[in-house]
Amino acid sequence: MAEAIVSIVVGRLTDLLSEEAQVLHGVQDEIQELVTELVRIKAFLPDANSRLHDQNIRILLADVRELAYDAEHVVETYLVKALSSPGKIMQRMHTRTFSRKLKDIKRKMSLLLNRFRDCNIKSALDIPESSNSSHGQPGGMLKRFHTFTTVEPEIFVGFQADVDKLVGYLVDESDDSYPLISICGMGGIGKTTLAQKIYNHSTIKTHFAGLAWVSISQKWQTRQVLQRILIGLVHEKKEEILTWDEDKLVENLLQIQQNKKCLIVLDDIWTNDAWDSIKAAFTPEKSLSKLILTTRNVDVSRYANPKGLIHQPESLSPDQSWELLQLKALPTRGEYIDIARDYKRMEKMGREMVKNCGGLPPAIMILGGILVTKPTFDEWKKVYDDSISSLKEGKGLGENQQEQLFENLIQSYNVLPTQLKPCFLYLSKFMEDEWMDAETLYQLWIAEGMVLSSDKREGETMIQVAESYLGELVHRSMVQVRLNVLESSLTKFNSCSLHDLMRDLSLFQAKAEDFFEAIDIGEGNDLNLNNCFDVARVAKTRQLVFYDKRGVEATSYFTKKPNHQQYRSILFRNMVGFNSQPLRLGLYISYFKLLRILSLEDIRHGRQSGLGTFFGTNIERVLGNLVYLRYLNLKGSNLKAFSWIHKLVVLQTLNLDVWNTGSMSSNVLGKMAFLRHLYLPRWVSVNSVKNSKLRFNGLSKLETLENFDTEWCEIKDLRKLSGLRRLKLKAKGGYDDVKEMFKHLSDLALSLNSSIWYMSLVIRISADQELRYHPVIQLFWNRNFNLQELKFHEKLPELSELFEEQQQLNHNHINVSLIRITKLNLISSNLEEDPMRVLEKIPTLRELEICNAYKGKEMVCSAMGFPRLAHLILWDLDNFESWRIEKGSMHVLQELLIHKCSKLEEFLEGLKFLNCLRKLILWRMPSELCDRVLLENQFFFLIFFLLFLILLDHIIIIFVPRFRHLQ
């Protein structure tokens, strides 16, 4: 890790020399000398890393890491003081102090270089370049092996027979069928993968009305487990479910399982106690539902249900192991050389190497992840030579094989490029089985300095470089990801997670390298930092993570002042208990004046305590003093005043996404030249704004801007934000106000250097006059706007007029391929013509809501219309009587909600063409229509496999299985 830390520091200092050349002009040469010395030290680290068995070497590397941190701190301290103290006298004082400290750093570097030579450690500058391609190019730039222009195919070998057998058991309705099936085996055998294949099987989705999946893991909370199951079965009642106590959760789960067929997967149960905590919610004797349970402990399965089926997957055979390895490690893409002439030799080596994996799919995939970055025979031979000495023959399932598996995991980490090691370790900060938002993760990595600007390609942002890092970890089968649905998304990945084995590896390595310290507040009563862990050991780390995994009430206070100034990062995660009791958090945070990252997401004070009591001190003064912050996340908190923000001049990410705040000073963002990602409050008191709206001068590097509201944000500043990639904007006011907004937005979107990739607009026009030519035309027709989401309140011209007018302006036919809208909400638009005949032509539309926006009686959705529409809401259409759905229309529609359309009678016949429909909700509709759905239209029972029904407050909710075939 010392090599990674030195690389990060070198990258940060190099960036500062480039970005802040004017501020650092007087000390530029000294900083460059510092960078040069760090590069010299880095050259010794590869050889030192090969001798970690030597305690003296480990101590030396720890000293290298600390000295790199110190060097960075000295430069950053000077930069912050120079930015905040412009006077010449102060500048000279800061420069003298900086030079003195830098001289001491260089003296220590000289001593370190002597220690390397004394230990006979060789410098890479004195030996030929390594041919190991995994470490990238000589300059340190990451070699990318995958661009993710296409999704890698899923690889599944050896378990298809198991899937077919267990699916057959689950759909068996005979008296001697199994109500509970357990999948048991050691970690990595493929239990969860097998359960996922069954869960997503088309036969299962047709047979069961409700599906729910929940991970139990080693630490669980009974109430949260029951909530997740119930939400999976009755998702539309989520908000209500979250308020129920355990008894009510159990009662409702039992009732649902008695009324419909459900399949519930309880993944990764470790102990009998875990089963005891939730078993009251399952009664196999009276239930129509069935359970799948995965566990490493077969005794847990026998304890849960002695009569259940226990299935123990076998490890892969040698032939299956080789098949899986070559699918991962020998891609056929043209970017790799022709390996046909070496295939036989590579197969022989590959078969030998997979013996070390014990037939465990994750181990084989990880080995494949190493080999896929080494496409030549010589590179395979080097991996083979490194691993052959550790092959141990004749091992069966058990402890020895687990040890062998972990050796493979360690190897996958050791061969990672320098840049990727800290990124991988960072992932273990998050909870077990948690899916992390990818864009948030990228911002954290960047703020930590883990993403190197030297890896940027022309035209790339740092976010895109960070995604390339995650992509490389995915390519090596070390991280799992979920892809963004929209092709036009800023990032390919939506979220990511770690398999249990990879999380174990990440935690193990993070602890071994003192990468961060995790503190579970829920495990003890005393929240004093010094009593939470070994102070001597924590003094080596710079990152802290606080959890409240159990969700207990925080009844204690942080008390003693910790005597450490080295902390750079504090994340508060899952702090459920912090909502109920006052906590002197501000006083605690005030001890860490050098923080780069602070996340206080969803931390709120209790209603009975004032803000000062909760934070223990003046929170504005505390946060305003954290002048080194690069990342500050206050999302979901209830802070209301942000006048201190202007002091945080080096912030890169600022998340103020709270529901409301008192006021925002107009120039509070003026000095934040480094800001890349800004999430504004959802609402600001307009009365406090008056004639002084929030300004955005100087934010030329801004890439993300969300919750921009024209009522309190200065719209004319938008055109200056040429670096924007994502913009979420709310426009309110009269027609002239909105027209002015479009003018400035056009100046931005249509400028030559515009880089907007994603735009979301909420438009509310309060004008009463008749609108003929409307600015919304530009939104539909100009690709430069890249409009993805549009919510339009109040009156619109007929949609056909918008199309016809644009056609006249362009003197050509309508070209709907120019439109990129994926989500459209029309509210109170007063349309008299059927909007469907226009909207169905938009090829990208995925979500559509029409609320009190159509005054006509009939709608028609024609064949081939709405090719990608997945969610449709029709709301409060008073005159709506007839809806004709032709075969082939909305062929991927999954959810349909119809609310308060009291005259609607004719539409049921067309539903039989919606083959992908999973959920139909009729809310506050005439009881006669509900009766027709239930009694007259028998096709719901015979063809749609109607499996679940709720009648409550004039609501009918019908769940329909996917992948059914209609005649």
Q: Are the beta carbons of 522 and 577 closer than 8 angstroms? A: yes
Highest mean pLDDT among 71-75, 194-198, 579-583, 852-856: 852-856
Statement: residue 424 has pLDDT above 80: yes
Distance CA(720)–CA(161), nearest Å, equals 61
* pLDDT in the model for residue 545: 80
Confidence band of 857 (pLDDT split at 50, 70, 90):
very high
The per-residue pLDDT for range 635-656, each reduced to its tens digit, is: 888 777 788 888 888 899 999 9
SS (H, E, C) 285-312: CCCCCEEEEEECCHHHHHHHCCCCEEEC
User: Which contacts qualify for 166-171: CB closer than 8 Å, 24 or more apart?
Assistant: 166/194, 166/198, 166/292, 166/311, 167/198, 167/201, 167/203, 167/204, 169/309, 170/198, 170/204, 170/207, 170/263, 170/290, 170/292, 171/203, 171/204, 171/207
pLDDT digits (tens, 9 = 90+) for 927-948: 776 666 655 444 443 333 333 3
How do residues 35-92 score in pLDDT, each as one tens digit? 888 888 888 888 887 777 788 888 888 888 888 888 888 887 787 777 666 666 667 7
- C-alpha dihedral (638, 644, 647, 649), degrees to nearest 10: 40
Q: How far is CA 482 from CA 33, 433, 657, in A?
A: 44, 13, 24
579: left (phi over 0), alpha (psi -120 to 50) or beta: alpha
Q: Is the pLDDT of residue 675 over 90?
A: yes
- Write down the pLDDT at residue 153: 53
**Averaged pLDDT for residues 285-290:** 72
Please write the tens of the pLDDT for every residue from 518-558: 777 655 434 444 444 444 444 467 788 877 655 444 434 34
Instruction: Provide, rounded to the nearest whole percent, the portion of the chain with pLDDT above 70.
Output: 75
Would you place residue 687 in the very low, low, confident or very high pLDDT band (cuts 50, 70, 90)? low
CA distance 884 to 866: 14
pLDDT for 419: 87
Tell me, what's the pLDDT at 207? Answer: 84
Instruction: Quote the CA–CA distance of 684 and 158 in Å, as a whole number.
Output: 58
Torsion of CA 420, 422, 423, 426, to 10 degrees: 160
Residue labelled with tokens 């750093």: 105
Residue owning tokens 């390595």: 509
Exposure b/e, 730-760, CB count within 10 A at least 16 = b: bbbbebebbbbbbebbbebbeeeebebbbbb
- pLDDT tens readout for residues 588-622: 677 777 788 999 887 765 443 444 444 444 666 78
Paired tokens of 834: 């059927």
Q: How far apart are CA 767 and CA 11, in angstroms?
A: 54
Q: What is the pLDDT of residue 86?
A: 64
Average pLDDT over residues 841-867: 91
- In the chain, the amino acid numbered 960 is V
* Residue 365 scores a pLDDT above 60: yes
Give the mean pLDDT of the chain.
76
Instruction: Indicate whether 337 pLDDT > 60.
Output: no
Give dist(CA 695, CA 746) in Å, integer.
19
Strands annotated E in 580-696? 597-599, 631-633, 653-655, 677-679
The token pair at 387 is 């691993």
* Residue 437: pLDDT band with limits 50, 70, 90: very high
Q: Which of 37-46, 275-284, 357-366, 398-407 reaches the highest mean pLDDT?
A: 37-46
Please give the share of the chain, as a percent, with pLDDT higher than 90.
Answer: 12
Most confident of 171-185, 483-497, 666-680: 666-680
Q: At what angle do helices 361-371 and 377-388 cross, to 10 degrees?
A: 130
Q: What is the pLDDT of residue 858?
A: 93
